[in-house]
C-alpha cells in the first residue's frame, strides 16, 4: 500500500470512487462530505480511514440542538460563577473555564488526526455556514482568552449527512463529495465475505438473493440496508439455518427466516405478507 | 481542454464554481488522478458535483466531452454514407411528410445542409434546435420531432464501444428529487419564526439569575429556562387539480419546505375556490371531506392561514351559489373566503401564476380584492414578502 493512501481495510470494502474522493480530501486537506442511504457505512468510513492510515480519530456527533460553537469551545460561565462564590483560586484565570470542543481537540493533535462530524444534517439549517471559516482556514479565535487556535496539522475531516436537510452551497463548495451508492451484488458478496469469512457459497448466494428480492419489493417504507443484511446473516449462522430453508423460503412464497432483522416496520411486514399471499394465489 | 469541460458543465446547468475547478486542478497537480480516465472521472465528480441528483447530468456532460475528445482522433460523423441516411429517411417518413421535405428546398438541399452542419459540429450533442444529436427539434438527429427529420445514430451504433461508467448513467432515477431547491424556500419561511419557551429547563436565564442572586444577598441562585422553539402555527390550504397541474412541482417544494420548517402545520386541499368542504387526502376527496366550519372551529384564530393556488377559474365560481365546477355549492365561494378571513386575520395567498398575468384574469383580481391585496407570487421574494405580512 502506498503511504498515506486509503484503499479500504480488511473489514471495509471501499469502491474505487469512494477511494478517489477520500484520497483527494486527504491529499488536499479538504473536508470530505459523505452522503448515502442509512446503513451503507458512512460513519464507519471515518473509523476505517483512521485505522488504515494509523491516525487518531476524533468524533463529533451532531444533534438537533448542537451549535457550531460547541465544536470549537464553550465557556462554562456557571462553573466560574460558582467558584467565585466559594472563593476558589482558579477563578482568576478564565482559561480554566474554557472547555475544548471536538474541533479544537483535533486542531491540537500532535499528529494529523481524523475528525468525524457525524450527521451534520441533524443540526439547524444555518449550522454548516457557521463552520465555513473554521473548515477553510482550519483556525478560529477564542474571544475570552484572545488566542488564535490554529491546526498544527490539517485534520482529515469526514462529514456525513443523511440528506434530511439541504446543505448551503458555500459549504458544499469547500468539500469533496461522495455519495455511497447501495452496493451491487458483487460488492455485497465481498462485503459479506469480509465480515463472515468462509461462509458457505451457496448460503451466501441464497441469502443475497432473498435480500435483493426483498429490497426490490415496491413500496417498502424502509428498505433493508447492508448493516441489516450483515445482522441477518449473523442470525442465520448462529441458528445454523440450512440452505434449503432459504431456498424454500423464496421470498415470493414465504417470509424468509428471521425476517425481523430485515424488515423493521410493521407496515412493511404487512405489505410483504400481502404480496406473498397474492403470489401464492397466482401460482395456484 | 479542461476549461472547455468546465464551461460545458456550467452550460449544462451545473453550478460549478471557479474555486471548485481550481481544487480539481490542484488535485490533478498532486497526481491524484494517475493516468486513468476512470480515476479522473471519479476525482472530478467528487470535486465538482456536490449533489447526487446532479450526477446524471454530470455523467452526460462527461460522456459528451470525452467522446468529443475521441472524435478528434478521426471518428467523424460525416463518414455516414448517403444511401444509409436516405434509407433511414424513407423508413421513417410517410409520403405526405416526404412531400413536406420539399419545404426545406428538397432532398438535395437537405443533404447539403446536413453535410454543412456535420462539418461545423464536432461533438455529440443533445437538445437544442440546430445541431445534430438526440432529443432536439433540429431536422437532423434522433428522438426529435421535426417531421423533416433525418435519423442519425440510434439504430445500429457504428462504433460500439465498451460501456463506460459515465455512459451507464446509474444515477438516472435520482434526478429531480423533490428536495431540489427547497433550501431557498426554507430560508424564506424562516422569517415566520416566533420563538417561545416550552418544555424542560435547559438554558441559563442570565437576567433572572442576576436578579435572584442579588435578592439572595449575593449568594448564587441559578435560574434555568426552557429552550426556545418556533411556536408559529400554520394552516396551509392548497389548490389541487385542473390548472394547478402546471405548478405541481413548485407547490410540492413549498409543501416539503413548510413541513420541515413548522412543527405545527395543518394542511387541507381545495379545488379552485374554498367552499363548505376541504379534504386531506386527494384519493379520498369525495368521501372524506371535512366541513370547512369544523376547520374554523377546531383551529384557533392565532393560526396563520396560507392559501396556495393559481386563483384562475371562472368568476362565477367565486361569486355565485352553484358556481363550483365540481358540485352544487349552496353559498358562493366568496362567502366562505370571507368567513375564513374573518376568523384568521393573518392570512396570505401565494399564487404560482406569474405576476404579469394577474391583471388579465378576472378571478385573480376578485380574490386579490377579497384578500385585501395580500396575494403574492410563489417565488422566493414573494414568499419573503408574504411572510412579513403574516408576522
DSSP states along B122-170: -S--BSSSSSSEESS-SSBEES---TT-B--SSSS-SS-PPPPHHHH-T
Q: Is A85 on the interface with B (CB under 8 A)?
A: yes
Percent of chain B with pLDDT over 90: 0
Measured in angstroms, the CA of A203 and the nearest CA of chain B are apart by 29
- pLDDT exceeds 50 at position B188: yes
Residues 147-186 of A with CB under 8 A from B: 163-169, 172-179, 181
Question: Nearest by CB to B50, which of A27, A164, A172?
Answer: A172
| CB within 8 Å: B50 and A78 | no
Which pLDDT does position B151 carry in this prediction? 41
Which pLDDT does position B68 carry in this prediction? 57
Strand partners, A32: A158, A176
Q: Is A120 on the interface with B (CB under 8 A)?
A: no
Angle at B126 between CA B123 and CA B131, to 5 degrees: 65
Q: Which residues contact B362 (CB under 8 A, 6 or more apart)?
A: B315
Give me the residue spans of the domains in chain B: 2-66, 77-165, 196-229, 232-390
Q: What is the DSSP letter of B249?
A: H
Which pLDDT does position A60 carry in this prediction? 92
Please answer whether residues B151 and B88 qualify as being in contact, where contact means their C-beta atoms are separated by less than 8 angstroms: yes
The SS3 of residue B291 is: strand
| CB within 8 Å: B55 and A168 | no
Which pLDDT does position B102 carry in this prediction? 55
Q: Which of A68-82, B176-190, B201-215 has the highest mean pLDDT?
A: A68-82
Q: Which residues contact A51 (CB under 8 A, 6 or more apart)?
A: A9
Which pLDDT does position A117 carry in this prediction? 92
B89 pLDDT band, cuts 50/70/90, is very low
The CATH number of the structural domain formed by B232-390 is: 3.40.50
Top pLDDT among B128 and A37 is at A37
pLDDT in tens, B196-205: 666 666 778 8
* Rounded-to-integer distance, Cα B50 and Cα B47, Å: 8
A-B contacts at Cβ under 8 angstroms: 78
- pLDDT exceeds 80 at position B208: yes
The chain A residue lying nearest B179, using CA atoms, is A166
* Integer angstrom CA distances of residue B245 from B163, B249, B251, B375: 38, 9, 10, 20
Cβ-based burial of B356 (10 A; exposed 0-12, middle 13-18, buried ≥19): exposed
Residue A146: CB atoms within 10 A of its CB come to 8
Interface test with A, best of B50, B54, B165, B174 (most A CBs within 10 A): B50
Please answer whether residues B294 and B303 qualify as being in contact, where contact means their C-beta atoms are separated by less than 8 angstroms: no
B127 pLDDT band, cuts 50/70/90, is very low
Measured in angstroms, the CA of B96 and the nearest CA of chain A are apart by 46
Q: In this predicted structure, which of A252-256, B10-14, B295-299 has the lowest mean pLDDT?
A: A252-256
Q: Which of B13-22, B108-117, B180-189 has the highest mean pLDDT?
A: B13-22
B94 pLDDT band, cuts 50/70/90, is low
In this prediction the pTM is 0.57
Q: Which residues of B touch A4 (CB under 8 A)?
A: none
DSSP codes of every residue in A192-242: HHHHSTT--HHHHHHHHHHHHHHHHSTT-SS---HHHHHHHHHHHHHTT--
The chain B residue lying nearest A35, using CA atoms, is B52
Question: Nearest by CB to A23, which of B17, B32, B222?
Answer: B32
* Rounded-to-integer distance, Cα B23 and Cα B21, Å: 5
Residues of chain A with pLDDT under 70: 1-4, 219, 221, 247-255, 280-284
* Rounded-to-integer distance, Cα B122 and Cα B13, Å: 21
- pLDDT exceeds 70 at position B290: yes
Top pLDDT among A39 and B136 is at A39
Residues for chain B: how many in total?
391
Mean pLDDT within B242-271: 77
Measured in angstroms, the CA of A69 and the nearest CA of chain B are apart by 15
- pLDDT exceeds 50 at position B131: no
Amino acid at each position: 500500500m502506498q503511504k498515506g493512501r486509503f484503499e479500504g481495510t480488511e473489514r471495509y470494502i471501499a469502491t474505487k470512487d469512494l477511494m478517489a474522493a477520500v484520497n483527494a480530501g486527504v491529499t488536499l486537506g479538504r473536508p470530505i462530505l459523505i452522503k448515502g442511504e442509512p446503513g451503507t457505512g458512512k460513519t464507519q468510513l471515518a473509523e476505517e480511514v483512521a485505522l488504515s492510515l494509523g491516525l487518531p480519530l476524533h468524533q463529533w456527533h451532531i444533534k438537533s440542538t448542537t451549535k457550531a460553537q460547541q465544536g470549537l469551545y464553550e465557556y462554562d460561565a456557571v462553573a466560574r460563577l460558582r467558584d467565585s462564590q466559594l472563593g476558589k483560586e482558579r477563578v482568576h484565570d478564565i482559561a480554566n473555564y474554557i472547555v475544548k470542543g471536538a474541533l479544537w481537540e483535533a486542531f491540537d493533535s500532535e499528529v494529523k488526526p481524523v475528525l468525524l462530524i457525524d450527521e451534520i444534517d441533524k443540526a439547524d439549517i444555518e449550522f454548516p455556514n457557521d463552520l465555513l471559516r473554521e473548515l477553510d482556514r482550519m483556525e478560529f479565535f477564542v474571544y475570552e482568552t484572545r488566542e488564535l487556535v490554529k491546526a498544527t496539522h490539517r485534520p482529515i475531516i469526514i462529514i456525513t449527512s443523511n440528506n434530511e436537510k439541504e446543505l448551503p452551497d458555500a459549504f458544499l463548495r469547500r468539500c469533496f463529495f461522495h455519495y455511497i451508492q447501495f452496493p451491487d451484488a458483487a460488492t455485497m458478496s465481498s462485503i459479506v465475505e469480509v465480515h463472515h469469512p468462509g461462509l458457505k457459497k451457496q448460503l451466501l448466494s441464497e441469502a443475497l438473493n432473498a435480500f435483493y428480492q426483498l429490497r426490490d419489493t415496491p413500496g417498502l417504507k424502509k428498505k433493508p440496508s447492508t448493516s441489516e443484511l450483515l445482522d441477518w446473516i449473523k442470525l442465520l449462522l448462529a441458528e445454523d439455518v440450512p440452505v434449503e430453508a432459504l431456498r424454500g423460503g423464496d421470498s415470493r412464497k414465504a417470509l424468509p427466516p428471521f425476517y425481523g432483522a430485515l424488515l423493521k416496520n410493521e407496515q412493511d411486514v404487512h405489505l410483504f405478507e400481502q404480496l406473498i399471499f397474492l403470489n401464492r394465489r397466482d401460482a395456484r | 481542454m479542461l476549461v472547455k469541460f468546465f464551461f460545458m458543465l456550467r452550460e449544462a446547468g451545473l453550478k460549478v464554481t471557479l474555486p471548485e475547478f481550481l481544487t480539481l486542478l490542484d488535485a490533478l497537480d498532486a497526481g491524484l488522478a494517475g493516468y486513468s480516465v476512470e480515476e479522473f472521472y471519479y476525482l472530478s465528480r467528487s470535486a465538482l458535483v456536490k449533489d447526487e441528483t446532479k450526477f446524471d447530468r454530470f455523467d452526460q456532460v462527461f460522456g459528451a466531452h470525452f467522446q468529443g475528445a475521441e472524435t478528434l482522433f478521426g471518428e467523424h460523423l460525416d463518414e455516414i454514407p448517403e444511401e444509409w441516411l436516405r434509407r433511414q429517411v424513407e423508413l421513417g417518413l410517410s409520403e405526405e411528410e416526404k412531400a413536406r421535405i420539399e419545404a426545406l428546398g428538397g432532398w438535395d438541399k437537405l443533404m447539403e445542409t446536413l453535410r454543412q452542419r456535420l462539418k461545423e459540429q464536432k461533438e455529440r450533442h443533445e437538445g437544442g434546435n440546430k445541431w445534430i444529436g438526440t432529443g432536439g427539434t433540429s431536422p437532423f438527429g434522433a428522438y426529435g420531432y421535426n417531421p423533416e427529420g433525418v435519423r442519425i445514430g440510434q439504430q445500429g451504433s457504428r462504433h460500439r464501444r465498451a460501456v463506460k461508467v459515465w455512459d451507464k448513467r446509474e444515477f438516472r432515477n435520482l434526478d429531480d428529487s423533490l428536495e431540489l431547491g427547497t433550501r431557498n424556500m426554507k430560508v424564506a419561511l424562516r422569517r415566520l419564526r416566533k420563538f417561545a419557551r416550552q418544555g424542560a429547563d435547559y438554558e441559563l436565564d442570565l437576567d433572572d439569575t442576576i436578579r435572584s442572586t442579588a435578592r439572595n444577598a449575593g449568594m448564587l441562585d441559578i435560574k434555568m429556562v426552557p429552550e426556545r422553539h418556533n411556536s408559529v402555527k400554520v394552516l396551509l390550504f392548497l389548490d389541487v387539480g385542473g390548472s394547478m397541474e402546471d405548478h405541481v412541482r413548485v407547490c410540492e417544494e413549498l409543501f416539503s419546505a413548510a413541513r420541515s420548517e413548522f412543527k405545527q402545520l395543518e394542511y387541507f386541499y381545495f379545488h379552485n375556490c374554498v367552499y363548505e368542504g376541504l379534504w386531506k387526502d386527494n384519493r379520498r376527496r369525495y368521501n372524506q371531506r371535512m366541513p370547512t366550519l369544523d376547520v374554523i372551529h377546531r383551529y384557533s384564530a392565532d393560526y396563520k392561514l396560507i392559501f396556495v393556488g393559481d386563483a384562475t377559474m371562472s368568476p362565477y365560481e367565486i361569486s355565485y351559489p352553484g358556481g363550483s365546477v365540481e358540485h352544487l355549492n349552496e353559498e358562493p365561494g366568496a362567502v366562505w373566503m370571507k368567513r375564513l378571513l374573518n376568523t384568521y386575520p393573518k392570512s396570505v395567498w401565494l399564487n404560482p401564476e406569474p405576476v404579469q398575468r394577474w391583471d388579465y384574469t378576472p378571478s385573480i383580481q376578485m380574490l386579490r380584492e377579497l384578500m385585501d391585496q395580500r396575494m403574492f407570487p410563489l417565488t422566493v421574494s414573494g414568499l419573503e414578502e408574504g411572510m412579513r405580512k403574516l408576522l
